[in-house]
Structure 1
Amino acid sequence: MKLFTNKMIPLALTVVMFGGLLAGCSKSTETPAASTASSTAPTTAPTEAATDAPATPAPDEKITLTVAMQSSDWSDAAQQMMDKFTELHPNIKIDFSQIPNDTSAEYLQPKAAANSLPDLFTIDGGDFGSQLAENGLIADLTNTDAGKDVVDGLKGVFTSKSGKLFGIAGGLSTSLIYYNKKLFEQAGITTMPQNWEEFLADCEILKGKGITPLTVAGGDGTINNTIWSTGFADSVISKDPEAVKKITAGTFDFNTPEYADVFTKAKTLYDKGYLVKGVVSLMYGQSNDLFMQGKAAMSFSGIWLAGTMMKSDFGTGVFMAPWNMKDQAKVPILATETGFGVAEGKHKDAAIQLLNFMTMGEGYYIYQNKKGNIPMMKATDESKIKIDPLISTYIKDSQASPVTGPLWFEFLPSEVQSKLVQTFQRVFTGELTPDAAAKFTDDTYKEAIKNKK
């Protein structure tokens, strides 16, 4: 099945086709609807019972909604959405706070334990949110307007063990490499690398021209979206298509040369001087800025940045990260973006009203066109959606792959997730060898599995 033909199909049909693709096509790395519960998730549920549909607050009822989002790359759009919503609903005030990217579980866990979750928040699909839903801390969004309209194929990792929809995905997610066309032209690179060997050769050419080849955030969890997830897909899933299922079943062995290769490739880039200076502590926003300022020829990032990265002064192109060896096909990443959840609390109805505005009302187009990714909702006005043709083509090519990989947070135990950034940093600085990093991950994983029994 293909998401796009040679001529762009209507977006309303696109999202329906995409939903069917994720739900029905045979992808060997399909993520289970819910994984084993996180041992760090709280066990105390609020006393308020869940309701399916939001009740509109009375016009004279004054409400303050607490909203916490990962939105550093679309903060202006987030604020615009909140302002527009409060303009339409003057009785609702929004206390909005921005949380660092890829730290939703760390931010939410202590608040959940204290039964003080924000009314609306960003949350990843997978283990942590599933347990919060099972414990009654997150509203089941199945029968809300947003829950009914979100693309079916994006629901799986936001569905708990008992079938509760605890989040609305923020869109289709995939990692890719953005490149500076002007700098590539200066270096004489006219064709995109198709494998790891060619990628290293191009990096050497760029370095020889005095151009920093690649920027990637090594100081926060976005390195897991990029180098880890792509490395795991190309080095592990390509050889063991059942790897994700084994991990969720508690039977996977991380202490292997294939998994160590994830860190070997990262260390190779670091040792050869192909990564931007300060990569070990470089944060997400800083990495994005370096690319947009023309200080690196490539940025390993995600489709969620397309709305920003494709609007450069130098001309931006994209290609699939060639982490595959010469005799091996690429394994692209296809997953869900961080989504939106609602707490079970006294302001749940108003929070769902805001959620519907963000995902189906005027707020949705503010969000979507800032992100520039593939829509996650079925009922969209295609005349209001702006997607760069290069991004459309990239998705089409990714969908054509017989095997795809998920993102790290969709299937790894939370204990393993929390150690990945530090593991990369220790590999970069030489504290751990790639083999030692593989063993460390395996030890962490086995301990997590043992604690859940």
Structure 2
Amino acid sequence: MSQKFTIDRRRFLTGIGALGTAGALTACVGPTITSRGSATAGGPGASTLLLPAVDAKPATGTISFAHWRAEDKAVFDTLIATFVKANPQAKITQDISPSNDYQSTALQKIKGGNIGNAFTAFRGAQFVNMVKAGLYAGLGAQPFVDGYFAELVKAGQDTSRAQMGLPYQLVFNMPIYNEDAFAKAGVTSLPQDWDGFLALCDKLKGAGFVPIAWPGGEPANSGQLINSMVMNNMPTDTAFADIEAGTRKVTDDWFLLTLKQYQQLAPFFEPNSTGTASEPLQQMFASGKAAMLATGSFHLSAVRKLGATFPINLIAPITVAQDKAKYEGIYNATFILGVNTAGTQQDTAVKWLQFLSDPVNAAVYANGTSQHLTVKNVDYTNADLKHTAPWLLKKTLLAPRFQFNNLDIRNAVEASCVAVVGGTAPEQAAQQAQTVIDQKRK
């Protein structure tokens, strides 16, 4: 099911709050964010529990908040302290798992009711599965839902368009880059086509940098690059959903082209890229050895904590000729906040979500973690958020990898890219992936 929205430029600029720089605002003249592809979830077994509207009574009792953002723990600790000060009979503990583990184990843990009274989900397959399992309590009666950009929280709706969760983060799932490294390599403008992107990588390599740090050994992050690699190659914006549905194949010409382009990028990745995780690459990028980190804006805070002091921006490889490019980059609305139907303390859990939804508290999270949010009227004072703010108004595509609702199929598609970088012929990697896809669709 295709879905499109357009955010009026003036309304969006008002909504995102004070960016604090006229230069950033005057640069935001590009097209707006466009959402395509499957964004809803639900089906048989979906929860019908609708939480009553939050009341004004102080929260009480202890709740567990389950998520995967270990790098945000200190900021959440600060927010929890503020929440508890206003609600002295309440307590919140964080239950944090690595992103890979959270993808595979969170549903079962949260389903038990002892962990994750309030919890989060990745957009796509995990959210779909959690809704089908009945974990999300309906949030439609909550007045604070109106404090979010309606277009950006559709990824938290079920098939009936009921608001089950609230995507909190507005991230860009595309490479970040070191502006100083680009300047040292003599790069004066960003490439607008595939030949230009390869030439950029060649310049960076010639200047002594690892052009692209790519975590090919970590499935949760190796697949982030595929978003921008396919955004202009796809014959339709729903091509990944079509692969899962069986109406398209990874052996089709457009995806074979993408695999061949991965093959061209392989010499520009770090050594042993197919066996490398994101953490050492964050250090490589922070130290200035790698010019690009092919994960996303969600790692801005991590590389700053590792000592990166240079200006950082976003870049997406344009894999087609300039006049054929429909999109400039990739965005995602994720970190879907929810209240668990299992267990107890749902009243306190929904009050925690209400607290996080307040623009003042949302600003503490955004500026402390270098994350743009889906909450209206957030005052962004973080220098990196100001610097990357123009991307809020460029023509970006909702991250295609999250069109997959079957993680086995998504993993097979993304593994074909890793296989090609590792030396497998594109045609062979595609056929191997298609064999898995055909099996998983039965």
Q: What is the TM-score of this pair, normalised by structure 1?
A: 0.80
Q: What is residue 23 of structure 2 aligned with on the other side?
A: none
| Cα separation, partners in 2 of 1:341 and 1:318, compared to 1, 3 Å | same
- Is the CA contact (8 Å cut-off) linking 1:35 and 1:248 kept in structure 2? no
8 Å contact from structure 1 (residues 171, 336) kept in 2: yes
Does structure 1 residue 281 correspond to structure 2 residue 275?
Answer: yes
Q: 1:11 to 1:32 in 2, by over 3 A?
A: same
1:83 is the counterpart of 2:75: no
What are the Cα deviations for residues 209-237 of structure 1, in whole angstroms up to 9, with x where unaligned? 2221111222324445532111222222x
Confirm or deny that 1:397 pairs with 2:394.
yes
Residue in structure 2 matched with residue 21 of structure 1 by the alignment: none
Q: After the TM superposition, which residues 50-449 of structure 1 pair with which residues of structure 2 at under 5 Å, given as runs?
A: 50-54=50-54, 61=60, 63-101=61-99, 103-112=101-110, 114=112, 117-223=115-221, 226-236=224-234, 239-244=235-240, 246-247=242-243, 249-270=245-266, 272=267, 274-306=268-300, 312-325=308-321, 328-329=324-325, 331=327, 332-344=329-341, 345-360=343-358, 362-378=360-376, 380-382=377-379, 388-398=385-395, 404-420=397-413, 422-430=415-423, 432-449=424-441
Conserved 8 A contact 1:260-1:438: yes
1:11 pairs, out of 10, 15, 18, with: 15
Give 1:406's aligned amino acid.
Answer: A
Q: CA deviation at 1:118?
A: 1.4
Q: Distance in 2 between matches of 1:2 and 1:145?
A: 22
For the 8 Å contact 1:231–1:261, the answer to whether it is kept is no
2:254 is matched by which residue type in structure 1?
E
**Residue deviations 1:313-349 (CA, integer Å, cap 9, x gap):** 2222433333334663153323312221221131111
Does the C-alpha gap of structure 1 residues 267 and 13 become closer, same or farther in structure 2, counting only changes over 3 Å?
same
Q: Which residue of 2 aligns with 1:19?
A: none
The structure-2 alpha-carbon separation of the partners of 1:387 and 1:426, relative to structure 1 and needing over 3 Å to count, comes to closer
Contact 2:227–2:400 (CA<8 Å) still a contact in 1? yes
C-alpha separation in 2, matches of 1:312 and 1:324: 32
Do the aligned partners of residues 267 and 176 (structure 1) sit closer, same or farther apart at CA in structure 2, a change above 3 Å counting? same
1:325-374 per-residue CA deviation (whole Å, 9 max, x = no partner) reads 46631533233122212211311111111111122164312211134344
Structure 2: distance between partners of 1:155 and 1:142 = 12
- Name the count of aligned residue pairs: 421
Match for residue 36 of structure 2? 30
- Return the TM-score normalized by structure 2: 0.82
Q: Is the 8 A contact 2:174 2:297 kept in 1?
A: yes
Kept in 2, the 8 Å contact 1:130–1:159? The answer is no
1:139 counterpart SS class: coil
Q: What is the alpha-carbon distance in structure 1 between the residues aligned to residue 245 and residue 379 of structure 2?
A: 41
How far off its partner does 1:124 sit?
Answer: 1.8
Q: Which SS does the other structure have where 2:365 is aligned?
A: helix
Change (3 A) 1:129 1:26: closer
1:368-391 deviation digits (Å, cap 9, x = unpaired) = 11343443113x253767764442
Q: Deviations over 1:58-92 (max 9, x none)?
A: 67x5x221112121343322232223323332322
Alignment gaps of 5+ in structure 2: 1-5, 20-31
Contact 1:68 1:122 in 2 (8 A): yes
Alignment RMSD:
3.5
Contact preservation (8 Å) 1:31, 1:156:
no
Check whether the contact 1:11–1:382 (CA below 8 A) recurs between aligned residues.
no
Contact 2:37 2:403 in 1 (8 A): yes
Identical counterparts, % of pairs:
18
8 Å CA contact retained: 1:224, 1:420: no
Residues 54 and 352, structure 1, Cα contact 8 Å, conserved in 2: yes
CA contact (8 A) 1:373 1:391 kept: no
Residue-by-residue CA offset, 1:2-38 (whole Å, 9 max, x unaligned): 7657x994335899xxxxxxxxx995x6223425769
Does the 8 A contact of 1:141 with 1:167 survive in 2?
yes
Structure 1: unaligned runs, 5 residues or longer: 16-24
